[in-house]
């Protein structure tokens, strides 16, 4: 399996090489030197269409799935795939092979294996998200890093006078906490004006979201101000709802918003991602949440640096600075890049399932809706959004009697469920202002929601355990006020 | 159920039999995952990690994968704190709040330089204020200076490094000249970025003296880039007296890729440093910000205690390792210089566990490309891994050595590896091979 950087050989490498480096390490190190061995963003011929599966002759069985996730704590009802994701044993094994390859002879790894491996992963991502060009795809640690990249660029624009003090950046109220802080750290600090779009919750239609978004844009443009950037979640984290990003992006274009950044941390492997269709300027998603990669890896999709598209930079500057974000991100100093290198192995894994990743997320969605409805019925509560505004996660209202009256209560209740009932599920606290609107909609008394996830390793029993745990708490007259204040 | 984590949050490990110092056989076993047929003389670039530390890392990784929420709420923070406390003691810092763990020195540089960039943007520094760096600073650092300082309007002054170098005084003189130049131009020097051990060519810089000179000259802040330092030369941050100091644990301190510390002296007057990747911990101080920059694998930062345990198995601990590495690399360097009839790039007193040895001129290393292709040839044909440095001739002074190898010595190295390098180069010389021949193949 000779690797070299000649065009024919690179195509060969992409299409015929197994997902992990050869199991014969001696042979790997005998590969002819390929000079600087840097993937320079060129593909020659179409890369393997690995993301479109041929239907497996015999799909993965339940027993095989259980084996793949046997490293999970099996005593825990693990219904929080959304926070930290999950990684099957076969992908972890592939990762170990890459890690050992580096440790064995790191110089040979650096010169011969790293860049071709990253290029291969990028090519797969490009197909997965329907990007036009591999040069638009960068691999980074996580969406948090991608946000820093985009927002640092905005910060420079303010400092360098391209944007003016007071120009606005719009974000959703339910934007992820880290992203809100990043906007503060880079935009507000540089003199930008930050506008939050309040979102109704519980929510019942896309129209409610669109309406609030339009109002926020009007506010942004008040007094002749420019809206320089809109940061829109594809799937909000807490509370979790699928946002109509394509429509909102279109509205942004119509309303003269300079740039749109879709923070889709949860999206890939969870909802459909077609970046050409959504047509944002920047789009990021984590591959370790719903796409079975080990911690951690994400992609950032952004147009190639040109007169019409800004030059993004990785904040950690290496000797690759100035060669475009994909190459800058492919070397940010010595570190473990193995989680970025196993994307081909993940494709192998998902292709073992009926319908590949599309099949997986369709079934995940159906199951989480089914389980959500089961819980809502059992508890006499309701869902936070209609099924079509959900993905593989859904919000289910907790009985009001539990008395979740603060974020602290939500955390403590979550700990209680983890420690006493061995159920792992995040809890969202619903603020009083929102409750008033809720009361008007007949949602009185509810202040807390669980966000349940469904991934291939889950079984219905996980959700029955949550159901019963909450039932018990309610029957015992439990109230969050009873928990120690520390 | 896994063994419960101890009070420090460390997962339990199998009991070790009581032993005296680690034996040669045990060392070989610890590094048996290295490619057995490669003469691995380049510990400086990517470091090395013994099997027992890798095993500890795997335990941390499994702990996360098993129940990540539990890991996040109960194990991560105590583990990071434990590592930071050990680092504080290791480098003689005053306060644990001065210690942050980051991916690598490259990241630490971005942190310090982004901070300077904000100072320019917010008017604390004025356009034209200067930042001083070494001409032979690591390429990534030079790019970061361009990306953050030059872009913000700062003026960059480079200090040339005479090479080969024969005394600290040569370095100090050039440094003082650079500061004088700034003064003559009426520029305020806001930051001096000083390498502790340069990468290519590798030389130990008298950082304590240079820092003192900076203070006298009214330089605002001193940042020591000690990427190669920890486990290689002595690091006492109070003694050195710099504002910021960074070093990689994965190079000479037996950690897996990758982990580094950034030391920042507590300075209530200046705006705080921030990690460029902003999480919900933003504003809670750099150590806390760095301890959570989104979901990722923090295991290489969590095994610092395991690396220290490994080191403690050696006579004299890390000092013993440093001394013996230094002695061995000097001995091997002299052996090579004698065999090739060349020279050392610096006197032994200015070396660490790395040393520069001149290559015979007939090999014709006349460019960086030549150096790279010679390195590749040594790797492929002779299975010797050693970085090659191209030193430009000044004034086309023929006879000046233009090619050097940078040899490293770490605990896993044996003399035979250096003999293989010696013989490889002698063979190339004997066969009349020049770099231009390699390229034309």
Across chain A, what does the average pLDDT equal? Answer: 89
Which tokens hold the place of B122? 């917010």
CB contact under 8 A, A315 and B110: yes
User: What is the pLDDT at residue B2?
Assistant: 42
- Note whether B276 contacts A105, CB cutoff 8 Å: no
Cβ distance A107 to B385 less than 8 Å, yes or no, reads: yes
Q: Mean pLDDT over residues A407-432, rounded?
A: 95
**Of the candidates B69, B110, B114, which has its C-beta nearest A424's C-beta?**
B69
Residue A51 pLDDT greater than 90, yes or no: no
Mean pLDDT by 10-residue block, N- to C-terminus, for chain B (441 residues)?
A: 46 59 97 98 98 98 98 98 98 97 98 97 96 96 97 97 94 97 96 98 97 97 98 98 98 97 84 95 97 97 98 98 98 98 97 98 95 97 98 74 96 98 98 88 56
- B379 and A33 within 8 Å at the Cβ level: the answer is yes
Of B350, B333, B351, B327, whose CA–CA distance to B404 is shortest? B333
- B192 and chain A in contact, CB less than 8 A: no
Nearest to B295 among A151, A295, A317 (CB): A295
Question: Which pLDDT belongs to residue A304?
Answer: 85
Q: What is the pLDDT of residue A245?
A: 98
HEC string of chain B equals CCCCCCCCCCCCCCCCCCCCCCCHHHHHHHCCCCCCCCEECCHHHHCCCCHHHHHHHHHHHHHHHHCHHHHHHHHHHHHHHHHHHHHHHHCCCCCHHHEEEECCHHHHHHHHHHHHHHHHHCCCCCCCCEEEEECCCCHHHHHHHHHHHHCCCCEEEEECCCCCCCCHHHHHHHHHHHHHHHHHCCCCEEEEEEECECCCCCCECCHHHHHHHHHHCCCCEEEEECCCCECCECCCHHHHCCCEEEEEHHHHCCCCCCCEEEEECCCCCCCCCCCCCCCCCCCCCHHHHHHCCCCCCCHHHHCHHHHHHHHHCCCCHHHHHHHHHHHHHHHHHHHHHHHHCCCECCCHHHCCCEEEEECCHHHCCCCHHHHHHHHHHHHHHHCEECCEEECCCCCCCCCCCCEEEEEECCCCCCHHHHHHHHHHHHHHHHCCCCHHHHHHC
| A130/B197 Cα distance (integer angstroms) | 47
- What letters, b where the CB count within 10 A reaches 16 and e where it falls short, cover B90-104? bbebeeeebbbbbbb
Count the neighbouring beta carbons within 10 Å of the beta carbon of residue A436.
10
Q: Which residue of A has its CA nearest to B123?
A: A159
Of chain A, the end-to-end C-alpha distance in Å amounts to 59
**List of chain B residues whose C-beta atoms are within 8 Å of the C-beta of residue A26:** 37
Q: For residue B376, which residues of chain A lie inside 8 Å, CB to CB?
A: 33, 35, 111
A interface mutation test: which of B67, B247, B292 has the most A CBs within 10 A? B67
B130, two tokens: 């200067």
Q: Which of A71, A147, A321 sits opposite B66 (nearest CB)?
A: A71
pLDDT at B20: 87
Q: Taking CB atoms and an 8 Å limit, are B38 and A105 in contact across chains?
A: yes
**B120: nearest CA partner in chain A:** A159
User: CA angle A129-A134-A139, nearest 5°?
Assistant: 75
Query: How far is the C-alpha of B215 from the C-alpha of A195, rounded, in Å?
Result: 45
| Residue B103 forms contact with A (CB below 8 Å) | yes
The single residue listed with the structure tokens 């991608």 is A146
Quick one: tokens of A398? 């907790």
Reduce the secondary structure of A35-66 to three states and give it as a string. Answer: CCCCCCCCCCCCCCCCCCCCCCCCCCCHHHHH
Contacts of B399 (CB under 8 A, 6+ apart): B361
- Residue A467 binned pLDDT confidence (cut-offs 50, 70, 90): very high
Interface test with A, best of B30, B63, B227, B257 (most A CBs within 10 A): B257
ipTM for the predicted complex comes to 0.94
Identify whether B258 is preceded by a cis peptide bond (ω within 30 of 0).
yes
- Are the C-beta atoms of A272 and A290 separated by less than 8 Å? no
Partner-chain residue, chosen from B68, B140, B282, that has the shortest CB–CB distance to A319:
B140
Is B258 in Cβ contact with A178 (below 8 Å)? no
The partner residue sitting opposite A335, judged by closest CB among B257, B293, B379, is: B257
Q: Which of residues 288-317 of B touch A (CB under 8 A)?
A: 293-297, 300
What's the pLDDT at B129? 98
| Nearest C-alpha neighbor of B263 from the set B247, B278, B275 | B247
Residue of B nearest to A332 (CA): B106
Separation in Å, CA of A76 to nearest CA in chain B: 8
At B14 the pLDDT is 56
Contacts A75 to B, Cβ<8 Å: 1
**CA–CA dist A411, A486 (Å, integer):** 12
3-class DSSP state of A405: coil
The shortest CB-CB distance from B110 to any of A316, A415, A424 is to: A316
| Chain A to chain B Cβ contacts (< 8 Å) | 197
Among B69, B71, B281, pick the best mutation site for testing chain A contact (most A Cβ within 10 A): B69
Cβ separation B277–A148 shorter than 8 A: yes
Residue B139, chain A, CB below 8 Å: the answer is yes
Query: CA A143, CA A297: separation in Å to the nearest integer?
Result: 9
Distance from CA of A38 to the nearest CA of B (A): 13
Q: Which of A28, A20, A15 is nearest to A92 (CA)?
A: A20
Upstream peptide bond of A239 is cis (omega within 30 degrees of 0): yes
Q: Which pLDDT score, from 0 to 100, does residue B10 have? A: 56
- Give the other-Cβ count within 10 Å of A383's Cβ: 20
Mean pLDDT of A301-311: 88
Each residue's pLDDT tens digit, A93-138: 999 999 999 999 999 999 999 999 999 999 999 999 999 999 999 9
In angstroms, the CA B258 to CA B103 distance is 6
The whole-angstrom distance between B5's CA and the closest CA on chain A is: 15
CA distance B34 to chain A (A): 4
Q: What percent of chain A has pLDDT over 90?
A: 80
**Residues of chain A contacting residue B193, judged by C-beta atoms under 8 Å apart:** none
Taking the C-alpha atoms of residue B24 and residue B32, their distance in angstroms, rounded to an integer, is 12
pLDDT at B394 (0 to 100) = 72
DSSP letter assigned to residue A32: P
Kindly give, in sequence order, each residue whose CB lies less than 8 Å from that of residue B431, ignoring residues fewer than 6 positions away.
Answer: none
Residues in chain B with CB shorter than 8 Å from the CB of A84 are 64, 68-69, 72, 295
> Could you tell me which of A456, A395, A469, A470 has the C-alpha nearest to residue A427?
A395
Residue B440's pLDDT is 61
Confidence check: pLDDT of A38 > 90: no
Chain A residues touching B115 at Cβ < 8 A:
none
DSSP state of A402: G
Task: Give dist(CA B37, CA B34) in Å, integer.
Answer: 9
**Closest by Cα among A15, A58, A54, A7 to A34:** A7
Torsion of CA A435, A437, A438, A442, to 10 degrees: 130
Question: Does the CB of B410 have a partner CB in chain A at under 8 Å?
Answer: no
Token code pair at residue B123: 């008017």
- Distance, in Å, from the CA atom of B184 to the CA atom of A388, rounded to the nearest integer, reads 70
Residues of A in contact with B295 (CB under 8 A): 83-85, 142, 286, 288-289, 295-296
Whether B248 contacts chain A with CB within 8 A: yes
**Cβ-Cβ contacts under 8 Å, B280 against chain A:** 177-178, 181
Query: Vertex A316, ends A311 and A318: CA angle to 5°?
Result: 85
Q: Is B68 on the interface with A (CB under 8 A)?
A: yes
Rounded (5°) CA angle A256-A262-A266: 160
Work out the number of other CB atoms within 10 angstroms of the CB of residue A255: 15
Tokens of A113: 């294996």
> Residue A84's pLDDT is what?
98
Please list the residues that pair with A137 across neighbouring strands: A301
The alpha carbon of residue A247 and the mean position of all alpha carbons in its chain are separated, in whole angstroms, by 20
Compute how many other C-beta atoms are within 10 angstroms of the C-beta atom of residue B301. 27
Note whether A443 and A367 are within 8 A (CB). Answer: no
B358 touches B345 (CB < 8 A) = yes
Tell whether B3 lies on the interface with A, counting CB pairs under 8 A.
no
Instruction: Find the closest chain B residue to A145 by CA distance.
Output: B277
Q: How far, CA to CA in Å, does A189 sit from each of A156, A176, A457, B331?
A: 11, 19, 43, 55
Across A356-370, A382-396, B143-157, B395-409, least confident range? B395-409
Å between A440 CA and nearest CA of chain B: 33
Tell me the C-alpha distance between A209 and A199, whole Å: 6
**Which pLDDT value is given to residue B16?**
52
Question: CB distance B121–A83 less than 8 Å?
Answer: no
Q: Which two tokens stand for residue A410?
A: 């939500």
Q: Which of A190-194, A442-446, B319-323 has the lowest mean pLDDT?
A: A442-446
The reply to whether residue B280 touches residue A178, judged by beta carbons under 8 angstroms, is: yes
Distance from CA of B2 to the nearest CA of A (A): 9
Q: What is the DSSP letter of A111?
A: I
Half-sphere exposure of B437 (CA within 13 A, CB side): 10
Q: Which range, of A84-98, A297-311, A446-460, B50-64, averages the lowest pLDDT?
A: A297-311
* CB-CB under 8 Å, A336 with B258: yes
- Check CB contact under 8 Å for B139 and A75: no
More reliable by pLDDT, A48 or A186: A186
Q: Pick from A333, A416, A418 the residue to mutate for testing the B interface (most B CBs within 10 Å).
A: A333
Residues of B in contact with A33 (CB under 8 A): 376-377, 379-380
Residue B439 at interface with chain A, using a CB cutoff of 8 Å: no
Q: What pLDDT is stored for residue A7 in this prediction? A: 40
Does position A39 have pLDDT exceeding 80, yes or no?
A: no
Mutate to test the interface with A, among B44, B61, B65 (most CBs of A within 10 A): B65
Residue A57's pLDDT band, with cuts at 50, 70 and 90, is confident
Q: Decide if A141 and B379 are in contact by the 8 Å CB cutoff.
A: no
* Burial classification of residue B332, based on how many CB atoms lie within 10 Å of its CB (0-12 exposed, 13-18 middle, 19 or more buried): buried
């Amino acid at each position: 399996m000779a690797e070299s950087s000649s065009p024919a050989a690179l195509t060969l490498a992409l299409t015929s090489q197994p997902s992990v480096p050869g199991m014969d390490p001696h042979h790997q190190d005998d590969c002819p030197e390929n000079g600087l061995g840097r993937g320079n963003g060129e593909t020659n011929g179409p890369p393997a269409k690995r993301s479109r599966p041929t239907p497996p002759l015999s799909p993965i069985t339940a027993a095989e799935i259980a084996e793949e996730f046997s490293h999970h704590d099996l005593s825990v009802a693990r219904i929080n795939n959304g926070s930290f994701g999950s990684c099957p044993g076969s992908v972890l094994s592939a990762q170990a092979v890459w890690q050992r390859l580096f440790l064995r002879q790191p110089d040979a790894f650096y010169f011969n294996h790293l860049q071709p491996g990253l290029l291969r992963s990028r090519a797969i991502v490009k197909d997965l998200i329907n990007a036009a060009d591999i040069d638009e795809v960068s691999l980074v640690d996580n969406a948090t890093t991608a946000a820093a990249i985009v927002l640092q660029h905005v910060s420079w624009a303010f400092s360098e006078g391209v944007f003016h003090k007071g120009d606005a950046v719009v974000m959703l109220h339910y934007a992820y906490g880290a992203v809100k802080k990043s906007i503060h750290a880079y935009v507000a600090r540089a003199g930008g004006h930050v506008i939050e779009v309040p979102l109704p919750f519980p929510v019942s239609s896309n129209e409610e979201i669109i309406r609030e978004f339009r109002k926020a844009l009007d506010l942004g443009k008040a007094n002749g101000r420019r809206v320089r950037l809109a940061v829109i979640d594809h799937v909000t984290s807490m509370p979790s709802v699928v946002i109509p990003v394509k429509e909102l992006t279109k509205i942004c274009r119509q309303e003269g918003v300079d740039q749109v950044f879709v923070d889709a941390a949860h999206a890939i492997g969870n909802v459909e991602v077609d970046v050409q269709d959504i047509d944002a300027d920047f789009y990021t998603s984590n591959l370790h949440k719903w796409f079975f990669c080990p911690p951690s890896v994400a992609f950032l999709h952004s147009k190639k640096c040109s007169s019409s598209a800004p030059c993004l930079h990785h904040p950690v500057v290496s000797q690759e600075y100035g060669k475009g974000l994909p190459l800058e991100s492919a070397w940010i100093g010595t570190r473990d890049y193995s989680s970025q290198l196993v994307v081909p192995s993940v494709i192998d894994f998902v292709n073992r399932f009926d319908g590949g990743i599309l099949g997986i997320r369709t079934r995940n969605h159906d199951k989480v809706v089914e389980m959500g409805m089961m819980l809502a019925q059992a508890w006499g509560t309701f869902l936070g959004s209609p099924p079509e505004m959900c993905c593989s996660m859904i919000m289910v209202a907790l009985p009001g009697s539990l008395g979740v009256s603060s974020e602290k209560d939500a955390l403590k209740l979550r700990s209680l469920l983890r420690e006493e009932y061995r159920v792992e599920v995040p809890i969202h606290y619903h603020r009083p202002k929102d409750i008033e609107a809720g009361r008007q909609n007949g949602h009185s008394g509810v202040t807390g929601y669980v966000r349940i996830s469904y991934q291939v390793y889950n079984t219905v029993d996980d959700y029955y355990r949550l159901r019963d745990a909450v039932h018990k708490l309610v029957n015992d007259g439990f109230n969050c006020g009873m928990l120690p204040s520390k | 159920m896994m063994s419960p984590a101890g009070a420090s949050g460390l997962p339990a490990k199998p009991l070790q039999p009581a032993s005296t110092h680690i034996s040669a056989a045990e060392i070989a076993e610890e590094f048996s995952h290295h490619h057995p047929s490669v003469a691995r003389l380049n510990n400086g670039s990517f470091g090395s990690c013994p099997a027992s530390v890798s095993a500890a890392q795997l335990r941390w990784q499994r702990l996360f994968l098993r129940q990540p929420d539990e890991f996040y709420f109960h194990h991560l923070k105590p583990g990071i704190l434990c590592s930071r406390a050990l680092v504080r003691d290791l480098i003689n810092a005053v306060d644990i709040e001065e210690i942050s763990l980051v991916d690598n020195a490259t990241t630490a540089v971005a942190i310090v330089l982004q901070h300077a960039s904000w100072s320019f943007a917010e008017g604390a520094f004025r356009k034209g204020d200067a930042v001083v760096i070494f001409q032979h600073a690591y390429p990534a650092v030079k790019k970061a200076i361009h990306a953050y300082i030059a872009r913000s309007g700062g003026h960059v002054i480079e200090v040339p490094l005479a090479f080969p170098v024969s005394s600290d005084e040569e370095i100090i003189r050039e440094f003082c000249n650079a500061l004088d130049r700034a003064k003559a131009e009426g520029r305020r020097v806001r930051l001096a970025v000083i390498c502790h051990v340069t990468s290519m060519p590798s030389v130990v810089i008298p950082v304590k003296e240079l820092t003192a000179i900076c203070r006298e000259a009214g330089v605002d802040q001193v940042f020591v880039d000690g990427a190669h330092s920890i486990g290689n030369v002595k690091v006492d941050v109070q003694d050195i007296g710099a504002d910021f100091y960074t070093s990689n644990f994965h190079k000479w301190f037996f950690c897996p890729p990758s982990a580094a510390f950034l030391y920042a002296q507590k300075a209530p007057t200046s705006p705080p440093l921030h990690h460029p990747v902003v999480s919900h911990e933003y504003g809670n101080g750099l150590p806390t910000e760095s301890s959570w920059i989104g979901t990722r694998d923090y295991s290489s930062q969590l095994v610092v205690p395991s690396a220290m345990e490994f080191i403690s198995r050696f006579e004299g601990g890390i000092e013993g390792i440093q001394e013996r590495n230094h002695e061995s690399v000097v001995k091997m360097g002299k052996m090579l210089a004698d065999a090739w009839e060349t020279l050392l790039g610096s006197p032994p007193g200015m070396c660490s566990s790395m040393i520069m040895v001149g290559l015979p001129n007939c090999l014709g290393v006349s460019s960086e490309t030549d150096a790279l292709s010679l390195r590749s040839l040594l790797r492929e044909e002779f299975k010797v891994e050693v970085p090659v440095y191209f030193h430009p001739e000044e004034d086309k002074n023929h006879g000046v050595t233009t090619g050097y190898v940078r040899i490293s010595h770490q605990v896993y190295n044996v003399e035979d590896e250096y003999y293989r390098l010696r013989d490889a180069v002698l063979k190339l010389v004997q066969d009349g091979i020049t770099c231009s021949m390699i390229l034309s193949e």
